[in-house]
Structure 1
Amino acid sequence: MSRGGSGGRVRVKTGRGRTSASTRWLERQLNDPYVRRAKAEGYRSRAAYKLLELDERFGFLKGAKRVIDLGIAPGGWSQVVRRRSATARIVGIDLLPTDPIDDVVILQMDFMADDAPARLTGELGGKADLILSDMAANTVGHQQTDHLRTMGLVEAAAEFVGEALAPGGAFVAKVLAGGADSTLVAMLKRMFTTVKHAKPAASRKDSSEWYVVAQGFKGPVAMSQNEELPD
């Protein structure tokens, strides 16, 4: 149950069966302007504004006709893409169930499954112009372990990009505090013209998440093992 606090802030009383942690989470949600805005504007999550803010800075949604959304649930990012491009072909994947989105193909399966890449590219019907990844591993509460598990997903997504992205395309992925590690950055710099890190305003200040935005895909030839890594 909740009541109004000073300055319009909603405060939540600890109810029967509700832990103090869940009470704090609920209070934060009720007072989050991005959560309220998402509800008012029909987005499924506040994460939609992270993508909108990143696109405002980097402009990767313009002209994207084929898009892959890795970690699509609950669907906020694909909603943004659909609103920006009514004719784009969008294919998403997630272990979690995701409610249908108009003209978006949603695969409920593990991206790390052997057949996932082929399923994604088959449904897309061609090379992607943009690959988005908001994937993160389930946390275990140990910062280093959580970081390694999530970065493992990012690295797998980057390898998939080499197979599925069209020349000139872009890759946007969630990473954790400190951004992508040096090995991954070196890999991306070989694959893309520009690689930048950003933390959109819609990311909570206490969150460890950052995003890597790689643009100007050079094509699979740039991934040759014979190339020297950049300094």
Structure 2
Amino acid sequence: MTRSGRDPGTRLKTAKGRTASSTRWLTRQINDPYVQKARAEGWRSRAAYKLIELDEKFALLRGAKRVVDLGIAPGGWSQVVRKQVPQAKIVGIDLLPTDPIEGVTIFQMDFMDDAAPAALSGALDGAPDLILSDMAANTVGHKQTDHLRTMGLVETAVDFAITQLAPGGAFVGKVFAGGTDTTLLALLKRNFTTVKHAKPPASRKDSSEWYVIAQGFKGRGD
């Protein structure tokens, strides 16, 4: 106990058959205030607070009418959109199963599938004005490989945004330490009025994740 009388952190006894890494993960989850707050407030994941904090800084959800949530599982970001702009049409996609969310169309399929873009745009009855991507590739434990795999997803998400967004729309995508690579950053700057990087407070300090926020889509000129 600390002098204030608070427990500085609960430690898990290492259970038989549990790896040290899983024990560390469970301990971190138990002691994470965002995890506890998410459970208390009914959010499906602590990630909900990342979008809440990004929205507070960049006003992403203001006036949003059609929203795409890439990598929706378990659904925390779409929950936030539903609460903040209940009138918006929302469609999400993930390879993982996602429990239904009222007012949200969910596709369980690979975003890299050729049929995915048409499925997403078809569910909205119009061009989206906000595309959110919290996607990250499954890690293999090799830092450079994991970074390249995730950046491949980001590049595909940016391409989707540039071909689908309504003029004036916005894109938010997860990137990692070092931010968006030079070529992709240049592409975003050509197509959006403002492009910034941010690490919301809810993102764990030891995590290398950042987010790129591109606002004011200039349109495709067609």
1:178 aligns to what? 178
Code of the residue aligned with 1:88 in structure 2: it is A
Cα distance between partner residues in 1 of 2:115 and 2:202: 34
Q: How many residues align?
A: 218
2:197 aligns to what? 197
Cα distance between partner residues in 1 of 2:79 and 2:150: 24
Give the strand-richer structure, 1 or 2: 1
Code of the residue aligned with 1:135 in structure 2: it is M
Cα distance between partner residues in 2 of 1:91 and 1:78: 8
2:219 aligns to what? 219
SS in 2 for 1:180: coil
- The answer to whether the aligner puts 1:62 opposite 2:62 as a matched pair is yes
1:227 aligns to what? none
2:115 aligns to what? 115
Cα distance between partner residues in 1 of 2:125 and 2:177: 35
SS in 1 for 2:48: helix
Cα distance between partner residues in 1 of 2:135 and 2:221: 26
- The answer to whether the aligner puts 1:99 opposite 2:105 as a matched pair is no
Cα distance between partner residues in 2 of 1:221 and 1:144: 36
1:73 aligns to what? 73
Shift of 1:16: 1.4
2:161 aligns to what? 161
Could you tell me which runs of 5 or more consecutive residues in structure 1 were left unpaired when the two chains were aligned: 223-231
SS in 1 for 2:155: helix
Shift of 1:17: 1.6
Shift of 1:208: 0.7
Cα distance between partner residues in 1 of 2:25 and 2:173: 25
SS in 2 for 1:30: helix
Shift of 1:20: 1.3
SS in 1 for 2:211: strand
Cα distance between partner residues in 2 of 1:71 and 1:125: 21
Code of the residue aligned with 2:193 in structure 1: it is T
Cα distance between partner residues in 2 of 1:162 and 1:197: 18
1:12 aligns to what? 12
My pick for the range that moved more, 197-206 or 9-18, is: 9-18
Cα distance between partner residues in 2 of 1:43 and 1:70: 18
Cα distance between partner residues in 1 of 2:86 and 2:183: 37
SS in 1 for 2:167: strand
- The answer to whether the aligner puts 1:206 opposite 2:206 as a matched pair is yes
Cα distance between partner residues in 2 of 1:171 and 1:122: 19
Instruction: Quote the sequence identity (%).
Output: 72
Cα distance between partner residues in 2 of 1:145 and 1:109: 23
1:226 aligns to what? none
1:17-36 equivalent positions in 2, closer than 5 A: 17-36=17-36
1:37-48 equivalent positions in 2, closer than 5 A: 37-48=37-48
Shift of 1:104: 0.2
TM-score by length of 1: 0.92
Shift of 1:22: 1.0
Shift of 1:221: 2.7
Cα distance between partner residues in 1 of 2:43 and 2:77: 9
Q: CA RMSD in A?
A: 1.1
